[in-house]
A and B are shown apart, each in its own frame.
Chain A
Amino acid sequence: MADSYYDPKDLRKFPKITEWSEELGTKFFDYYGKVFEKGALSEREKSLIALAVSHVVKCPYCIDAYTQDGLQRGITKEEMMEAVHTGAAIESGATLVHATQMMKKYDKLSH
């Protein structure tokens, strides 16, 4: 066994999840591939969204994959960092917006 939970080499084995559940694995990868095709959004835009979400869900495999994907698409480091900040802003906003509940409860319980 590896000494850590995350091994970058495991990303290469991702397609192998299908071996233990062919139907669900195949359906997932078909869906995944379709999502990233050019549609109303460009592949470039989808790559940046994926990069931001990768950070929010804190997935090291996804961060590696979509940093590389962005480089391949000519996305600059400034664009990548702005995408990450966008994700971070939503994530911290999601925490902070709960402060309204705290304030409401505080006011209700206080004189």
Chain B
Amino acid sequence: MATKSLLARKKLMAKAEEQLKYLSNGIFKDELPTFRHQLEKIDDFPLKPKALEILQLNLGYMCNQVCEHCHVDAGPDRKEIMTKETMQQCLEVIKTTKAHTLDLTGGAPEMNPNFRWFVEEAAKLGVKDFIVRSNLTIIRANKKYFDLPEFFKKHNVHVVSSMPHWTKGKTDKQRGSGVFDKSIKALQDLNAISYGMPDSPLQLDLVYNPSGAFLPSNQEALEQDFKKALKEDFDIQFNSLFTITNLPISRYLDYLIASDNYEDYMYKLVDAYNPAAVKNVMCRNTLSISWDGWLYDCDFNQMLEMRVNSPVQHIKDYNEEQLQNRSICVSQHCYGCTAGAGSSCQGSVV
């Protein structure tokens, strides 16, 4: 398993431009329909936003893990971190936005040196649903993070954490050696202060994304399997499981190409294309803000450097009304959000 990002390894797929080129050529030249073509068929091109519900802030690409399928290409060698100045600009936006959910992601957002200050300030603004996407191992990575569960509780943070499987082998294969044991300990710590427990207001959700070149199965059935196994084996409880389809970008795209799975995977995504999922894709109710303040339709478009198609492109110029008039940028990676029951940072959408 790699210990460095694609960027540090100087791999071709570290470049957004190369990824987009790859996704628009080959089988999409003559065998498979482009995503735009699918939208045109249902009169949904250009794709337009619905009411804004979620502001997703990427606090930086630095992470203590180097997961095989990371769409961010995050890792310890990534130095892109949101500054306090940009955070202050985000706070100004949070004061006036119509979005009810604030979603902090990374990398490991907790590794941003101003993470705690930002959470404290944002929590004062009365966000209805305040999500932190925590990779769990960060809580056990260093003594300075051991109190994160208490910190989350104090600010009524909704914790959403990745967990590819309920067995050690599958989890460690995707996320690195030792990740499973640390994640289990972190989940037990969170349960101990009533995160994810029945009747507790403290929300603890898990995110499942397949550890290989296949699509996720039914979210409800997988949630039942996760709940049963984690309860029986480790006495762990959680609220909901979100299944997320791996999008063919960044490290996952690199993996698909290297393992000769790219074509089959794209066929699977296109075969499973569900027009009903287009109605609820997350880019229609979400805005993604990068570590350096640029605005995107979603976290995936951020990684592909596809900025919003709007005169307003940076948080310093934020104008929600104007942004609502934009057309959403799409490419073939968008098939990942419309396969089967659909996929989003909040799980399936149909």
Contacts and interface: CB of A to CB of B under 8 A. Distances in A.
Interface of A: 8, 12, 42-44, 68-69, 71-74, 76
Given A73-B222, A74-B165, 12 more contacts: A12-B271, A42-B221, A44-B221, A72-B210, A72-B214, A72-B215, A73-B221, A74-B166, A74-B217, A74-B222, A74-B225, A74-B226
Which 6 A-B residue pairings sit nearest by Cβ, starting from the closest?
Answer: A72-B217, A73-B217, A71-B214, A68-B214, A72-B214, A74-B225
B225 A44 contact: yes
Contacts of B169: 76
A65 to B, nearest CB: 11
Contacts, number: 32
A28 B332 CA distance: 33
Nearest to A43: B221
Main secondary structure of the interface of A (DSSP, over half): helix
Nearest to A8: B264
Contacts of A72: 210, 214-217
Interface string B204-244: 00001010101111100110011000000000000000000
Contacts of A76: 167, 169-170
Q: State which size class the interface on B falls in.
A: 20 to 34
Interface of B: 165-167, 169-170, 208, 210, 212, 214-218, 221-222, 225-226, 264, 267, 271
A74 B217 CA distance: 8
B135 to A, nearest CB: 20
B212 A71 contact: yes
A76 B215 CA distance: 15
Most buried by B among A8, A43, A68, A69: A68
A13 to B, nearest CB: 11
Nearest to A73: B217
Contacts of B165: 74
A43 B218 contact: yes
B33 to A, nearest CB: 15
Most buried by B among A43, A44, A72, A73: A72
A12 B267 contact: yes
Contacts of B217: 69, 72-74
A38 to B, nearest CB: 8
B282 to A, nearest CB: 21
Contacts of A43: 218, 221
B8 to A, nearest CB: 30
A53 to B, nearest CB: 20
A76 B168 CA distance: 11
A14 B208 CA distance: 30
Contacts of A8: 264
A64 to B, nearest CB: 10
Contacts of A74: 165-166, 208, 217, 222, 225-226
Contacts of B166: 74
Contacts of B221: 42-44, 73
